[in-house]
């Protein structure tokens, strides 16, 4: 189970890492072979499935995204905790609303993440 302290700590660290554009710190929250699912993956790297696996592939994608959006800043709106998962609801790139669902392994690292964006 995810407790409130872990959920808020993760959320604050994750947002801070993104806002400082510290890709190494962002990636430190993830298992080496984690899966990232996002419709933006298809747009930026041309992967039609919208899914990438592993820190190397996702790190390259996020690096490219940071180059495209050098002023990227996230504003955390709320944190929702579930069973071995957390959802962060935030204002993201281009002032767009986003919800990201993180599934955690037993070591507290993200094993799967699913990004959703306002339409």
| Structure confidence at residue 119 (pLDDT) | 86
| Structure confidence at residue 99 (pLDDT) | 98
Secondary structure percentages of the chain, helix, strand, coil, to 5: 40, 35, 30
Q: 81 - beta bridge partners?
A: 86
Q: What is the 3-state secondary structure (H, E, C) of 7-35?
A: HHHHHHHHHHHHHCCCHHHHHCCEEEEEE
Tokens of 59: 């790190």
| Structure confidence at residue 51 (pLDDT) | 98
List pLDDT tens digits, range 88-118.
Answer: 999 998 899 999 999 999 999 999 999 999 9
List pLDDT tens digits, range 14-27.
Answer: 999 999 999 999 99
Q: Which of 31-40, 62-71, 82-91, 108-117 has the lowest mean pLDDT?
A: 62-71
Non-local (6+) Cβ contacts of 101 within 8 A are 85, 86, 87, 113, 114, 116
Cα 25 to Cα 5, 13, 96, 109: the distances in Å are 20, 9, 23, 13
Q: What is the mean pLDDT of residues 2-9?
A: 96
What is the greatest pairwise CA distance in the chain? 37
Non-local (6+) Cβ contacts of 95 within 8 A are none
**How high does pLDDT run on average in the chain?**
96
Residue 18 near residue 74, CB atoms below 8 Å? yes
| Structure confidence at residue 1 (pLDDT) | 78
- Report which DSSP code applies to 83: S
């Amino acid at each position: 189970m995810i407790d409130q302290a872990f959920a808020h700590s993760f959320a604050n660290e994750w947002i801070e890492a993104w806002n400082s554009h510290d890709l190494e710190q962002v990636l430190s929250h993830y298992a080496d072979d984690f899966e990232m699912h996002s419709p933006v993956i298809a747009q930026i790297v041309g992967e039609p499935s919208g899914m990438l696996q592993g820190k190397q592939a996702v790190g390259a994608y996020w690096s490219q995204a940071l180059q495209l959006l050098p002023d990227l800043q996230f504003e955390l709106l709320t944190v929702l905790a579930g069973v071995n998962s957390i959802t962060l609801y935030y204002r993201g790139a281009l002032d767009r609303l986003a919800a990201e669902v993180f599934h955690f392994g037993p070591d507290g690292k993200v094993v799967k993440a699913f990004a959703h964006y306002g339409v």
